[in-house]
Amino acid sequence: MRILLVEDDRDLQRLLKRALVDAGYVVDTASDGEEGHFLGDTEPYDAVILDLGLPKLDGVTVLERWRKAGKTMPVLILTARDRWSDKVTGFDAGADDYLAKPFYTEELLARLRALLRRAAGIAKSEIEIGPLRIDTRASRVTLNGSPVKLTSLEYRLLAYLAHHQGRVVSRGELVEHLYDQDFDRDSNTIEVFVGRLRKKLDPNLIQTVRGLGYCLANPDAPEEEKDRAKA
């Protein structure tokens, strides 16, 4: 999952980026409202963590412009403004959640996981697909009850497909959501990681839809349900 962190406090930005990366996310950062707005307007993010008191362009204005432009990614406001009126303003501008400073990093990560689950229509922190279990809180994967050891990129790829289970995801989309903006992106690497996952998991879990991409589906589901997922 690819996250945009817009925070002008450099020390806090650095600490939060490390925590997010350690939790398995790809993170792009911006230190002012103009840069944050540009990135959110031009790059595909799964969620945004947005400060309100930003230089050049305040967070509420950034958020209002995103929503006016049709950007629907979940946005978690992170700010020192904790008055109820500030919260109302943030929610009315299009925020999905609000966390006041100071805060506990674990709470921020839990709120972020919840936003990503809701955006994907998933109710629990553990995603179940046939014999596959993905614990998004602990970044842990099991198959038929046995733990599966994955690299960070393998896990990110599997988790992204799981959050979009039943939908065909193109290689281009996977590249955009698995690597940050500074990475030398190559869609051919996705095929390599999919091959590795198939060797470690049920080979029928990740299906290739020729010319379109990949689909994570329950191998035990009825054939007509699998066909609908590919459509």
Domains for the chain: give ranges and CATH numbers: 2-120 (3.40.50.2300), 126-230 (1.10.10.10)
What confidence category does residue 229 fall into, taking pLDDT thresholds of 50, 70 and 90?
A: very low
10-19 average pLDDT score: 95
This prediction has a pTM of 0.80
DSSP string, 4-67: EEE-S-HHHHHHHHHHHHHTT-EEEEESSHHHHHHHHHHS--SEEEE-SS-SSS-HHHHHHHHH
Residue 10 has pLDDT above 80, yes or no: yes
Q: What is the pLDDT of residues 142-194, one digit of tens each?
A: 999 999 999 988 999 999 999 998 889 998 889 888 887 666 556 678 888 99
* Summary mean pLDDT of the chain: 88
CB-count exposure of residue 32 (10 Å: 0-12, 13-18, 19+): middle
Q: What pLDDT is stored for residue 130 in this prediction?
A: 86
Contacts of 76 (CB under 8 A, 6+ apart): 47, 48, 49, 50, 95, 96, 97, 98, 99, 108, 111, 112, 115
End-to-end CA distance of the chain: 24
Residue 221 has pLDDT above 70, yes or no: no
What confidence category does residue 217 fall into, taking pLDDT thresholds of 50, 70 and 90?
A: confident
Residue 219 has pLDDT above 90, yes or no: no
Cα-to-chain-centroid distance, residue 184: 20
101-109 average pLDDT score: 93
